[in-house]
Amino acid sequence: MSDSRFWVRRYMAEGWNVVPIPRGEKGPRIPNWQNTTFTEEDFGADDNIGVRLGEPSGGLVDVDLDAKEAITAARTLLVQSQRVHGRPSKPSSHYWFVCKELKSTRYTAPDGSVLVELRSTGGQTVLPPSVHPSGETLTWEQERSPMAIEKADNAAERIGYVDLAEDVKGNLRVTEGRLVPGVQKAEAVASGAGPGRAREADRA
């Protein structure tokens, strides 16, 4: 992992409100971090870097694809953002957009496991090149400015998030007594054989 403070400077230049996190962890330990503005001096060279989402970072939102089937289907159903990151075992699992006033939402399976999540104000996400608890390093796969969606009305639908979440959740099946996302439909969507379709975001 390169010096965290180099990346902190880069993220702050983009207007992102960053948060120091212990290396190898996903959550801040500093009390009242949700209401604190940190500077480069608050970070150690090996710290993980989190970002406060939504309003504190100019409307920055993260579409977090927890289920592997969601990652597959996102290639077709989700608008292909200009900012994407992941890790070796879960590449392209975070798509970044900018949309002020967009609310956080989460789609879960009946067993409570998260399938896909849209994170905004009140949440935070760990950024590259932080180290995941698994020991894997997060990396940017696309690193241009996140795609901006100017109007919050129907923004989640316009970037394909709702279609993606409902597609994955609606394809749950029972395997060996466990409720799991189905694979065949996600593969069909990714290949273009299913109901999904590639779309572009309306930026206006």
pLDDT single digits (tens) 48-65: 999 999 999 999 999 999
What does the mean pLDDT of the chain come to?
84
Residue 204 has pLDDT above 80, yes or no: no
One-letter amino acid at 136 equals: E
| Contacts (Cβ under 8 Å, ≥6 apart) of 191 | none
The β-bridge relationship of strands 60-65 and 124-127 is unpaired
Q: Output the CA–CA distances (angstroms, integers) from residue 148 to 25, 103, 144, in the order listed.
A: 29, 15, 11
Residue 148 three-state SS: strand
pLDDT-based confidence at 158, cuts 50/70/90? Answer: confident
Domain positions in the chain = 4-191
Q: Does residue 146 contact residue 60 with C-beta atoms inside 8 Å?
A: yes
Q: Does residue 3 contact residue 48 with C-beta atoms inside 8 Å?
A: no
Query: What is d(CA 186, CA 132) in angstroms, rounded to the nearest whole number?
Result: 26
Comparison of pLDDT for 110 and 91, the residue scoring more: 91
**3-state percent helix, strand, coil for the chain, nearest multiple of 5:** 25, 30, 45
pLDDT digit string (tens) for 19-49? 999 999 999 999 999 999 999 999 999 999 9
| Contacts (Cβ under 8 Å, ≥6 apart) of 53 | 60, 61, 62, 104, 119, 120, 121, 122, 123, 124, 125
pLDDT digit string (tens) for 94-105? 999 999 889 999
Please compute the mean of the pLDDT values over residues 124-147 and round it to a whole number: 97
What is the model's pLDDT at position 172? 59
pLDDT-based confidence at 1, cuts 50/70/90? Answer: low
Quick count: other Cβ atoms within 10 Å of Cβ 94?
25
Residue 175 three-state SS: strand
| Contacts (Cβ under 8 Å, ≥6 apart) of 148 | 97, 98, 99, 203
pLDDT digit string (tens) for 172-188? 554 444 444 443 333 43
What is the model's pLDDT at position 129? 97
- Weakest mean pLDDT among 13-22, 154-163, 188-197: 188-197
Q: Does residue 160 contact residue 65 with C-beta atoms inside 8 Å?
A: no
Percentage of residues of the chain with pLDDT beyond 70: 83
